[in-house]
């Protein structure tokens, strides 16, 4: 099948699955980022992250090698949103950039301003990279900026992971103040991204890894209201609301996920078996996952083939399922294993699929 | 044990369990002024509370924010007790030097391990994140560390652990310090391959392995003293 036809067909299957329906074949999504892609074309990660031309070249190289799969769009790891608040960015030669925590005292949240969603920090770099990519490959093939870091993870990055979790136990009122500001920014930044996007959005996506570590009560108090305030606005517009969280949930907190009102749960923690997610919410939301990235990196092609078959048997029955890794392709993954994974999805993913 | 002493130790433990920083400071000072040894206040008060939180965390009765907050409080308690412990020449469970390896800025896993180690009475020296091999080596030598614990979240940074072990070996202190490693990309096979002594699949597994090393070490020391 010609390259672009496969991409279009796979994308339409993904849309079907995200609507909780059953396509003719299990679609596949391969999440890629700079850590892997830079090495894929033999450059240092810092060159990838700091040069839109190299970023695009690496993403296109992966797509050319793997049937149009892989991400294509501005990729700045997790630094855009914190940089907008004023966090400085540590650019490292061999790792993705990382923001330096901004709030050494949580009390300083009172002085924190909600940034401008078009011009603050590295947002202009994101916009110009998006426009450059659209100009080079066409808007149809560039990820349309629907994804954003969620309000909780922005707060975590502004404060530092451990410190923010300690704050939740010790300084609850101030944590709410910080989350109010990050949520407000998230809402405005998503609006700005939608305005900039050259393609009409059918989905909206938030990624928040750290709420998984909360108790059920704290998840209800510190996460659901903030995430819902964003999702609810887009639900009203008829968009599919997609959410990513790969932290390892406790059973009791995991049970609260449907309260977020989401339509799809993407790349959940691969340490929890896909059958658990399917049984818990397979009828309420689409699932995208969940082959462990480390398994893909370390296994033989035969083991990869068997693991893909197993995932499909667990996730695919009844539809509402997109095969993917439980995260991004990680450094050191043999290209042969990626090839095997893609072919195995094609081989085992023809509907009907029974458990 | 006198009932007053029992009550004071209970207060210390409860202040950790209830994450009450003011009560902890007051209780530590009262305990010391009442003549309770700093070692007792630590091991039978503060660490007991931390141990209770650790067990609650393991059983799913409390969560990461509480575990980390209790670890942070315990650090505060330790800071107050430290000069008294030195004066008493108290013998702790062992000395652990810990850090996230160079290139890696993640600290969550490391901080969980620190909280769990302190609850078991270990003296922990936290080097933070992005730690170069010479800093690890220097600190192990300076503090005469029993254990060097390294953490990494990234597949790209965990190979650096091999470099740290090589540096330890080169300086000769590898013979006296055991190396325990952990983190998302780390496996038992990887630990063996790079010459680490153990892999901790989580904080509690790491603690069990460190305790086992310390037990063997104490038996060894006793045996050699007996031979003298």
* CA–CA min distance B193, chain A (Å): 14
- B105 part of contact set with chain A, CB < 8 Å: yes
In this prediction, residues B133-158 reach a mean pLDDT of 93
Q: What is the dihedral of CA B194, B197, B202, B206, to 10 degrees?
A: -160
Contacts 24+ apart (CB under 8 A), B72-75: B72/A166, B73/B15, B73/B16, B73/B19, B73/B21, B73/B24, B74/B16, B74/B46, B74/B47, B74/B49, B74/B50, B74/B115, B74/B118, B74/B119, B75/B118
User: Do A214 and B63 count as a contact with CB atoms less than 8 A apart?
Assistant: yes
Residue of B nearest to A251 (CA): B60
CB contact B188 to A (< 8 Å): no
Residue-level pLDDT at A187 = 97
- Among B19, B60, B68, select the one facing A165 at the smallest CB separation: B68
pLDDT, tens digit, for every residue of B21-62?
999 999 999 999 999 999 999 999 999 999 999 999 989 999
**DSSP per-residue codes, A295-355:** HHHHS-HHHHHHHHHHHHHHH-TTS-EEEEESSPPPTT--HHHHHHHHHHHHHH-BSS---
The answer to whether A257 and A298 have CB atoms below 8 angstroms apart is no
Specify the pLDDT at position A270: 93
pLDDT at residue A160, rounded to an integer: 95
- With cut-offs at 50, 70 and 90, classify the pLDDT of residue B2: low
Confidence of residue B1 (pLDDT cuts 50, 70, 90): low
Phi, psi of B162 (to 5 degrees): -60, -40
Q: Which chain B residues are within 8 Å of A77, Cβ to Cβ?
A: none
Establish if B58 touches chain A: CB-CB under 8 angstroms: no
Is residue B50 a contact partner of residue B118, using CB atoms and an 8 Å limit? yes
Sign of CA dihedral B199, B205, B206, B210: negative
B173 interfacial to chain A (CB closer than 8 Å): no
Report DSSP state, residue A98: E
Closest CA to A262 of A243, A236, A237, A290: A243
The answer to whether B25 contacts chain A (CB < 8 Å) is no
Mutation pick from B64, B101, B104, B154 vs chain A, by most beta carbons of A within 10 Å, is: B64
Q: What is the pLDDT of residues B177-211, one digit of tens each?
A: 999 999 988 999 999 999 999 999 999 999 999 99
355 residues of chain A, pLDDT tens digit each: 666 778 899 999 999 999 999 999 999 999 999 999 999 999 999 999 999 999 999 999 999 999 999 999 999 999 999 999 999 999 999 999 999 999 999 999 999 999 999 999 999 999 999 999 999 999 989 999 998 899 999 999 999 999 999 999 999 999 999 999 999 999 999 999 999 999 999 999 999 999 999 999 999 999 999 999 999 999 999 999 999 999 999 999 999 999 999 999 999 999 999 999 999 999 999 999 999 999 999 999 999 999 999 999 999 999 999 999 999 999 999 999 999 999 999 999 999 998 8
- In the prediction, which pLDDT does A143 show? 93
Give B8-40 as a DSSP string.
HHHHHHHHHHTT-HHHHHHHHHHHHHTT--HHH
> Residue with structure tokens 């909360």?
A214
Identify the residue among A48, A87, A169 best suited for mutation to test binding to B, counting B beta carbons within 10 A and taking the highest: A169
Continuous H helices in B89-150: 108-119, 133-143
- Can you give the pLDDT at residue B218? 75
Q: Kindly report the nearest CA distance between residue B213 and chain A, in angstroms.
A: 28
The verdict on a CB contact (< 8 Å) between B156 and A250 is no
- Mutation site, B19, B75, B105, B158, interface A, largest A CB count within 10 A: B105
Report how far apart the first and last C-alpha atoms of chain A are (Å, whole number). Answer: 29
Nearest to B177 by CA among B107, B120, B96, B86: B96
Task: Quickly count: other Cβ atoms within 10 Å of residue B162's Cβ.
Answer: 16
Considering chain B, what percentage of its residues have pLDDT values greater than 90?
74
- A94–B103 C-beta distance less than 8 A: yes
Give the three-class secondary structure for A183.
Answer: helix
Beta carbon pairs, A and B, within 8 Å: 64
Of A326-330, B151-155, B224-228, highest mean pLDDT: A326-330
Whether the predicted pLDDT of B153 surpasses 90: no
**Nearest by CB: A213 against B60, B64, B72:** B64
Residue A246 is predicted with a pLDDT of: 92
Mean residue pLDDT across chain B = 91
Rounded CA gap, A120 and B52, in Å? 46
What is the predicted ipTM? 0.93
To the nearest whole Å, the CA of A46 is away from the closest chain B CA by 13
For residue B156, list chain A residues with Cβ-Cβ distance below 8 A.
35, 94-95, 331
Chain B contacts of A327, Cβ < 8 Å? none
pLDDT at B133: 95
The verdict on B221 touching A (C-beta cutoff 8 Å) is no
β-pairing, A89-90 vs A98-99, is antiparallel
Backbone φ and ψ for B157, nearest 5 degrees, come out as -100, -25
Inspect the interface and report whether the beta carbons of A169 and B155 lie closer than 8 Å: no
**Residue B228 above 80 pLDDT?**
no
| The predicted structure's pLDDT at residue A2 | 60
Identify the structural domains of chain B with CATH numbers, from first to last: 3-88 (1.10.1240.10), 95-227 (3.40.50.280)
Indicate the SS3 state at residue A16.
helix
């Amino acid at each position: 099948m010609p390259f672009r036809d496969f991409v279009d067909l796979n994308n339409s299957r993904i849309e079907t699955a995200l609507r909780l329906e059953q396509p003719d074949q299990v679609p596949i999504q391969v999440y890629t980022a700079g850590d892997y892609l830079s090495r894929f074309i033999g450059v240092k990660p810092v060159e990838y992250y700091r040069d839109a031309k190299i970023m695009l070249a690496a993403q296109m190289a992966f797509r050319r090698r793997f049937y149009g799969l892989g991400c294509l769009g501005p990729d700045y790891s997790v630094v855009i949103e914190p940089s907008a608040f004023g966090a400085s960015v540590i650019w490292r030669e061999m790792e993705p950039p990382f923001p330096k925590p901004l709030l050494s005292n949580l009390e300083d949240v009172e002085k924190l301003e909600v940034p401008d969603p078009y011009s603050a920090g590295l947002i202009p770099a994101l916009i110009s990279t998006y426009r450059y990519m659209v100009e080079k490959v066409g808007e149809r093939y560039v990820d349309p900026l629907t994804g954003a870091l969620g309000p909780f993870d922005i707060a975590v990055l502004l404060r530092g992971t451990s410190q923010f979790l300690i704050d939740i136990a010790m300084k609850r009122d101030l944590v709410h103040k910080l989350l109010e500001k990050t949520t407000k920014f998230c809402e405005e930044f998503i609006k700005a991204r939608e305005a900039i996007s050259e393609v009409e959005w059918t989905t909206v996506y938030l990624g928040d890894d750290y709420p998984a570590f909360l108790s059920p009560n704290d998840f209800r108090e510190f996460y659901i209201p903030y995430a819902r305030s964003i999702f609810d606005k887009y639900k009203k517009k008829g968009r599919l609301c997609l959410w990513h969280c790969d932290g390892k949930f406790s059973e009791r907190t995991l049970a609260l996920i449907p309260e977020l009102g989401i339509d799809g749960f993407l790349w959940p923690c691969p340490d929890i078996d896909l059958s658990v997610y399917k049984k818990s919410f397979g009828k309420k939301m689409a699932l995208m996952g969940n082959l462990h990235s480390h398994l893909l990196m370390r296994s033989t092609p035969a083991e990869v083939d068997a693991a893909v078959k197993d995932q499909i048997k667990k996730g695919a029955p009844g539809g509402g399922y997109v095969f993917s890794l439980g995260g991004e392709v990680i450094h050191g993954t043999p290209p042969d294993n990626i090839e095997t994974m893609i072919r195995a999805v094609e081989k085992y993913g023809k509907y009907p699929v029974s458990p | 044990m006198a009932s007053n002493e029992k009550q004071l130790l209970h207060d210390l433990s409860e202040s950790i369990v209830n994450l009450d920083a003011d009560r902890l400071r007051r209780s530590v000072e009262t305990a010391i002024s009442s003549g309770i040894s700093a070692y007792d206040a630590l091991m039978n008060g503060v660490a007991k509370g931390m141990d209770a939180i650790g067990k609650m965390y393991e059983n799913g009765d409390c969560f990461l924010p509480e575990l980390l907050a209790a670890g942070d409080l315990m650090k505060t308690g330790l800071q107050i007790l430290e000069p008294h412990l030195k004066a008493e020449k108290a013998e702790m469970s062992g000395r652990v030097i810990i850090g996230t390896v160079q290139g890696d800025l993640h600290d969550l896993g490391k901080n969980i391990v620190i909280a769990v180690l302190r609850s078991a009475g270990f003296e922990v020296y936290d080097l933070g994140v992005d730690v170069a091999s010479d800093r690890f080596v220097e600190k192990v030598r300076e503090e005469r560390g029993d254990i060097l614990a390294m953490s990494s979240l990234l597949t790209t940074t965990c190979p650096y652990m091999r470099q740290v072990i090589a540096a330890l070996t080169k300086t000769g202190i590898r013979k006296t310090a055991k190396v325990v490693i952990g983190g998302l990309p780390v496996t038992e096979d990887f630990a063996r391959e790079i010459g680490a002594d153990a892999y901790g699949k989580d904080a509690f597994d790491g603690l069990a392995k460190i305790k086992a090393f310390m037990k063997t070490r104490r038996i060894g020391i006793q045996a050699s003293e007996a031979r003298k």
